[in-house]
């Protein structure tokens, strides 16, 4: 393990490597808000970690070792920011479209939660068949929403993002994301309960 002066010199000499690796990785990431500073920070953390752990006796170049540690640190950071499941991401890759543009698909629990929230009656007051019918109506109504509303709903109920994260992903402020979600809920409410009468 190198001493402090050696660590500082390794870090100083390889700062351009860390910056370049961060910049390249940022070029391959979708635009989910402003991640530039965090990715650069992760790259520098990986460089510092490489400098601390480097063992010259193993016979490898520091630059080679540092690349591995920097890439790993950046990947770890990006993974913490990704709220989509591996299955959801693979489906997006197979279809060749951006992950958040996949059609909204609600499981029974999500659809039931929306159905409860849309009706002003508490849970447990509907028969099971009535709840199932409402869930089917909610899913059908969600599929007819305009694309921007479907994207917001997919991020909220498919990926589990909060309003701030939805806003960042879609280029909105948090308050605009709230308005978009309210618009989507209102459109679903109108479709479900207008069809009831």
Domain stops at, among 27, 50, 82:
82
Q: Does 141 have pLDDT greater than 90?
A: no
User: Is the Cβ–Cβ distance between 49 and 69 less than 8 Å?
Assistant: yes
Q: Is 91 a domain residue?
A: no
Structure tokens at 162: 């909060």
**Cβ-based neighbours of 174, under 8 Å, separated by 6 or more:** 163, 164, 167
Total domains present in the chain: 2
Residue at 87 is within a domain: no
Instruction: Give burial (CB, 10 Å; 0-12/13-18/19+) of 2.
Output: middle
How many angstroms separate the CA atoms of 115 and 139, rounded?
10
Cα 64 from chain centroid? 30
Q: Does residue 117 lie in a domain region?
A: yes
Residue that has been written with the tokens 């279809």 in this structure: 95
For residue 126, is pLDDT > 60? Answer: no
124, 50: one domain: no
**How confident is residue 125, by pLDDT bands cut at 50, 70 and 90?**
very low
Mean local confidence (pLDDT), 98-107 = 48
- 54 and 77, same structural domain? yes
Token pair, residue 133, equals: 């019918």
**Confidence grade of residue 134 (pLDDT, cut at 50, 70, 90):** confident
Same domain, 65 and 108: no
CATH number of the domain encompassing residue 135: 1.20.140.160
Give me the CATH number covering residue 58: 1.10.1740.10
Q: What is the dihedral of CA 138, 140, 143, 149, to 10 degrees?
A: -30
**DSSP of 143-158, one letter per residue?**
HTS-HHHHHHHIIIII
Residue 1 has pLDDT above 60, yes or no: no
Co-location of 143 and 169 in the same domain? yes
Structural domain range at position 138? 96-196
Phi then psi for 192, rounded to 5 degrees? -70, -50
Model pTM score? 0.45
Structure tokens that stand for 119 in this block: 């009706």
Say if residue 33 is in the same domain as residue 114. Answer: no
- What tokens were used for 106? 């609600």
Are 191 and 104 contained in the same domain? Answer: yes
Q: Tell which of 82, 107, 134 closes a domain.
A: 82
> 108 and 48, same structural domain?
no
Confidence of residue 93 (pLDDT cuts 50, 70, 90): low
Q: Give the pLDDT of residue 62.
A: 92
- Confidence band, pLDDT 50/70/90 cuts, at residue 98: low
Both structure tokens of 13:
């000499």
Of 18, 47, 82, which closes a domain? Answer: 82
């Amino acid at each position: 393990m190198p001493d402090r002066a050696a660590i500082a010199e390794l870090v100083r000499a390889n700062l351009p490597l860390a910056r370049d690796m961060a910049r390249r990785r940022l070029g391959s990431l979708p635009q989910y808000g402003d991640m530039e500073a965090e990715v650069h920070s992760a790259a520098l953390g990986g460089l510092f970690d490489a400098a601390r752990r480097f063992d010259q006796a193993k016979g490898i170049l520091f630059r080679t070792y540092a690349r591995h540690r920097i890439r790993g640190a950046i990947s770890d950071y990006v993974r913490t920011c990704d709220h989509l499941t591996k299955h959801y991401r693979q489906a997006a890759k197979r279809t060749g479209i951006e992950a958040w543009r996949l059609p909204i698909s609600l499981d029974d629990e999500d659809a039931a939660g929306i159905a409860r929230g849309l009706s002003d009656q508490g849970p447990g007051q509907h028969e099971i068949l009535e709840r199932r019918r409402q869930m089917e109506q909610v899913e059908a109504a969600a599929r007819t929403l305009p694309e921007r509303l479907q994207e917001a709903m997919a991020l909220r109920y498919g990926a589990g993002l909060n309003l701030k994260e939805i806003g960042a992903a879609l280029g909105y402020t948090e308050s605009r994301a709230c308005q978009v979600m309210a618009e989507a809920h209102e459109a679903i409410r109108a479709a479900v309960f207008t069809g009831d009468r």
